[in-house]
Chains A and B, each alone.
Chain A
Amino acid sequence: MRFILRIWRQKNAQDPGRFETYEVDGISPDASFLEMLDILNERLIREGKEPVAFDHDCREGICGSCGLFINGRAHGPLPNITTCRLYMRHFKDGDTITIEPFRAKPFPVIKDLVVDRSALDRIIQKGGYISVNTGSAPDANSIPIPKPYADRAFDYATCIGCGACVAACKNASAMLFTAAKVAHLAMLPQGQPERRERVKRMVAQMDLEGFGHCSNTGACAVECPAKIPLTAIAQLQRDFIWANLTPDPHIR
């Protein structure tokens, strides 16, 4: 198959950047999108040009490294899938494909299609955990957890931290990402002691990083490779309102 690629090229954070057009030919429909870029890069190197920088690692949709904005959509034209699991057979021969980095103020471009998503780590640092030291845990079966709760906690916990929710959101909101963690821990008895503080602190950090607010447009959930549902956001909202409106009587 043959494709015309319009790719965002940007040397570094200071460079204003621009689109460049490349043509690739002889691409197998079974090649993945990233493999198609590999082929382009091999050629560019042989031609003595700079290859296109992009993030990737596991190439099976779990590490959250990859993330391209392809033809106007985070992770490309299919819903709920990572860029690395997108295959060229989903494009038409001769298509022009526009490839941009994930864009958001808290995701500065490092080079070409690579952006810095460490803001997401800093949100987790503020409370995306249960404070338990190694060695202090009771027997794993000492606290039974109803299966539906455990299952739901799992669903929320599968977020891969790719940032596609931010990229797709018209406000560049990190709400789905943050909410996935809040909701995961809210479903579990172990998450209760810190539940109120967690949501407050994580929301504060989200704002501090410069992410936008959520207007419930739901683009995030359509693109989210982990299929995190919007109920996660509802959970965060509930917890946040509750934590702020009802001061804990035991803490002054």
Chain B
Amino acid sequence: MKATSSSLSWLHTSVGRKVVMAVTGLFLITFLVVHLAGNLLLLRNDGGQAFNAYSEFMSTNPAIRVLEILLFAGFVLHIYQGLYFIFRERKSRPQGYALNAASANTSIFSRTMRLSAVVILVFLVAHLQHFFVEHRLLHSPLTMYDLCKLTFENPYYSAFYIGSMVLLAFHLAHGFYSGFQTLGLVMNSRIERLIRWAAAAFAFIVPLGFAIIPIYFLIAKN
């Protein structure tokens, strides 16, 4: 076999693009853990002291700023590739099936990746607008804690968050496993069982952790 040209062009193959998604996706997963850990400080009954300190640290520490850029880059790449696939998908099957019993051979989570992705995207826009833009760019006078409190005491807003977390759970239930598989790490059925189990646990616990925050504020208010 003659050697094919090698450069970065491999990132434009279907497999290369998926690798980008997996790397960024798994990176975002680690962000979620950190983000959740920080956000759970909101639940401490200290009038927001700990959380505000954390928030202050996060928005000023230079190392974190670098990570933040990485994080945004990760999101952008992940979303770019995600949208690419979403729009590409139909091209491989211009004429669909009249009857498709996909539920017989796939999980609902893997089938709804497009939906969960779009919902998370909408969520992100709203979420960033609300916190990041408000706080960092518009320099809202409220402390971070008060901003959160105010936000989540609005039941509509909270409902939107909680709903989004359900879809995040869906996205993670498949995405967590899928990322490892894309990187070729699911080498045998034992590893597969392990990762599927971890994915289920992660997809359940992390979004639940996020969802507790609006619920907490709603309950605390009443």
Counting chain A residues whose Cβ lies within 8 A of the other chain, the interface size class is 35 or more
Given contacts A105-B94, A237-B15, contact A204 B4 (CB under 8 A): yes
Q: Are B13 and A105 in contact, with the CB atoms below 8 A? A: no
Q: Which of B100, B105, B182 sits near A79, CB closer than 8 Å?
A: B105
Q: Return chain A residues, CB-CB under 8 Å to B178.
A: 215-216
Q: Are A231 and B188 in contact, with the CB atoms below 8 A? A: yes
With an 8 A cutoff between CB atoms, is A83 at the interface?
Answer: no
Q: Which of A168, A217, A241, A251 sits near B184, CB closer than 8 Å?
A: A241
Compute how far the CA of A212 lies from the CA of B86 in the bound complex, rounded to whole angstroms: 11
Compute how far the CA of A74 lies from the CA of B104 in the bound complex, rounded to whole angstroms: 11
Compute how far the CA of A71 lies from the CA of B105 in the bound complex, rounded to whole angstroms: 13
Report how many A-B pairs have Cβ atoms within 8 Å. Answer: 157
B187 CB to nearest A CB, Å? 6
**Identity of the chain A residue whose Cβ is nearest the Cβ of B11 in the assembled complex:** A244
Given contacts A215-B178, A217-B110, contact A168 B99 (CB under 8 A): no
Counting chain B residues whose Cβ lies within 8 A of the other chain, the interface size class is 35 or more
Say whether chain A's binding surface is mostly helix, strand, loop, or mixed: mixed
- Within 170-200 of A, Cβ neighbours of B (below 8 Å) are at 170-173, 194, 197-198, 200
Q: Are B105 and A223 in contact, with the CB atoms below 8 A? A: yes
With an 8 A cutoff between CB atoms, is A112 at the interface?
Answer: no
B71 CB to nearest A CB, Å? 23
Compute how far the CA of A198 lies from the CA of B3 in the bound complex, rounded to whole angstroms: 9
Q: Are A201 and B1 in contact, with the CB atoms below 8 A? A: yes
Give the segment of B16-24, B50-58, B141-149 that binds chain A: B16-24
Q: Return chain B residues, CB-CB under 8 Å to A98.
A: 98-99
B149 CB to nearest A CB, Å? 39
With an 8 A cutoff between CB atoms, is A235 at the interface?
Answer: yes
With an 8 A cutoff between CB atoms, is B60 at the interface?
Answer: no
- Within 176-203 of B, Cβ neighbours of A (below 8 Å) are at 177-178, 181-189, 192
Q: Are A207 and B13 in contact, with the CB atoms below 8 A? A: yes
Compute how far the CA of A101 lies from the CA of B98 in the bound complex, rounded to whole angstroms: 11
- Interface of B toward A, CB cutoff 8 Å: 1-4, 6, 10, 13-19, 85, 88-89, 91-102, 104-107, 110-111, 113, 174, 177-178, 181-189, 192
- Interface of A toward B, CB cutoff 8 Å: 8, 19, 69, 71-73, 77, 79, 98, 100, 103-106, 127, 131, 168, 170-173, 194, 197-198, 200-201, 203-204, 206-207, 210-219, 222-223, 229-231, 233-241, 244, 247, 251
What are 18 contact pairs spanning A and B, CB under 8 A?
A19-B98, A77-B101, A98-B99, A127-B1, A201-B1, A211-B14, A211-B92, A212-B92, A212-B93, A215-B85, A216-B178, A216-B181, A218-B105, A219-B106, A222-B105, A237-B19, A237-B184, A240-B16
User: Other than the known A72-B99, A100-B99, what 20 A-B pairs have Cβ atoms closer than 8 Å?
Assistant: A72-B102, A100-B98, A104-B92, A105-B92, A170-B89, A170-B111, A200-B4, A203-B14, A212-B91, A213-B18, A213-B88, A214-B18, A233-B181, A234-B181, A234-B184, A234-B185, A234-B186, A234-B187, A241-B19, A241-B184
